[in-house]
């Protein structure tokens, strides 16, 4: 599925976790990104960001607003999320569904008959940690910009997943966005972080530099991290896990109103909420395929 020229992998939660298992059992590095409406809006003016997003090995839908693509067919380039279509007929007999079965033996519904599944990045991160605990895979936490936040994040994850191997914590370094939308950071400081990750040899790397910066950093540095099988941008997940920022109640998340809770609790987010709602809808309505 392609929304505003950014690929979204419209998979069920089960299928996403199957991909995670496949990645961790492989001998290659993989990038997991979690596009949401705000990210897609920013990517419209940042071709480098858009290119990086489309290079992801798994792009998981994180944002209720992306479900608008179901009803605005000009916003995507495949019939994902459209109402179920009647079976095609061939001589009066419905043609067989040739969609291959997945590893569970179940055949997923054809793409054009599927709804977009939202899988918040923080929930995916927790599920990856649960899988890592069971399979003896190790984790490294990078980012947040705060020693206290990164330490509390590690502590909370250890409480929740008692046998999880967290082999390293690093608050990261300052990253700047340049006028050409590329990123800039101190080379010596970055080299030191890369060496720390190499020495720790994690299987999984969670990066929390904020959207745009974290995806670009992963794209530029993953090749130098031979042990890492999954590198995932997690945005503000460390703030929520550490308790620095309170997450919306479950019932609000389930009905897609987490953004409203954030706006009430953090009114300074109004510009970001505007971008992820009004501006995003504008792009969906008037976007032209290129």
* Band of pLDDT at residue 160, cut at 50, 70 and 90: very high
Of the given ranges (8-12, 115-119, 137-141), which has the lowest mean pLDDT? 115-119
CA dist list (Å): 225 to 2, 39, 196, 288: 30, 26, 10, 38
Tens-digit pLDDT profile for residues 175-231: 999 988 999 999 999 999 999 999 999 999 999 999 999 999 999 999 999 999 999
Q: Average pLDDT in the 135-151 region? A: 97
- Amino acid 230: pLDDT: 99
- Amino acid 65: pLDDT: 79
- Amino acid 83: pLDDT: 31
Which one-letter DSSP state was computed for residue 62?
-
- Amino acid 272: pLDDT: 80
**Short-list 120, 143, 70, 126, CA closest to 259:** 120
Q: Average pLDDT in the 146-175 region? A: 97
Is the pLDDT reported for residue 79 higher than 50?
no
Q: Average pLDDT in the 150-174 region? A: 98
**Short-list 6, 34, 11, CA closest to 207:** 34
Q: What is the pTM of this model?
A: 0.82
Pairing label, strands 204-208, 230-233: parallel
Strands (E), the chain: 2-3, 6-7, 30-33, 58-59, 89-90, 93-94, 138-143, 165-170, 176-177, 183-184, 204-208, 230-233
CB–CB of 95/87 below 8 Å?
Answer: yes
Tens-digit pLDDT profile for residues 39-74: 999 999 999 999 999 999 999 999 777 876 666 655
**52: exposed, middle or buried (C-beta count within 10 Å: 0-12, 13-18, 19+)?**
buried
The backbone torsions φ and ψ at residue 109, rounded to the nearest 5 degrees and listed phi first, read: -65, 150
Q: Average pLDDT in the 250-273 region? A: 72
Is the pLDDT reported for residue 21 higher than 70?
yes
Tens-digit pLDDT profile for residues 87-135: 333 333 333 333 344 444 444 444 444 567 889 999 999 999 999 999 9
* Cα–Cα distance, 82 to 73 (Å, whole number): 8
Q: Average pLDDT in the 158-172 region? A: 98
Q: Which residue has the higher pLDDT, 172 or 244?
A: 172
Tens-digit pLDDT profile for residues 263-284: 677 777 778 888 888 899 889 8
What residues does each domain of the chain span? 2-72+117-242
- Tokens describing residue 215: 């995806």
Q: What SS3 state is found at 65?
A: helix
∠ CA 153-157-160, nearest 5°, is 145
The backbone torsions φ and ψ at residue 190, rounded to the nearest 5 degrees and listed phi first, read: -65, -40
């Amino acid at each position: 599925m392609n929304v505003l020229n950014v690929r979204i992998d419209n998979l069920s939660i089960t299928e996403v976790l199957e991909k995670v298992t496949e990645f961790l059992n492989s001998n290659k590095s993989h990038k997991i990104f979690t596009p949401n409406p705000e990210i897609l809006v920013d990517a419209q003016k940042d071709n480098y960001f858009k290119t990086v997003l489309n290079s992801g090995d798994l792009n998981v839908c994180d944002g209720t607003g992306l479900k608008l693509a179901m009803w605005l067919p000009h916003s995507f380039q495949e019939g994902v999320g459209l109402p179920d279509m009647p079976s095609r007929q061939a001589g009066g007999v419905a043609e067989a569904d040739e969609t291959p079965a997945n590893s569970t033996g179940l055949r997923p519904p054809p793409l054009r008959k599927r709804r977009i599944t939202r899988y918040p990045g923080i929930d995916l991160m927790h599920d990856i940690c649960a899988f890592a605990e069971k399979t003896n895979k190790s984790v490294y936490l990078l980012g947040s910009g705060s020693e206290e936040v990164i330490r509390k994040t590690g502590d909370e994850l250890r409480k929740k997943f008692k046998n999880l191997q967290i082999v390293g914590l690093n608050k990261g370094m300052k990253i700047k966005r340049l006028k050409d939308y590329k990123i800039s950071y101190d080379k010596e400081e970055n080299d030191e972080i890369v060496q720390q990750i190499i020495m720790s040899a994690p299987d999984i790397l969670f990066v929390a530099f904020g959207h745009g910066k974290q995806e670009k950093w992963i794209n530029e540095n993953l090749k130098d991290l031979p042990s890492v099988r999954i590198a995932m941008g997690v945005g503000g997940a460390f703030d929520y896990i550490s308790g620095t920022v309170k997450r919306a109640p479950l019932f609000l998340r389930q009905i897609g109103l987490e953004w409203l809770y954030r706006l009430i609790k953090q009114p300074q987010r109004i510009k970001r909420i505007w971008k992820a709602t009004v501006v995003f809808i504008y792009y969906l309505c008037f976007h032209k395929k290129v």
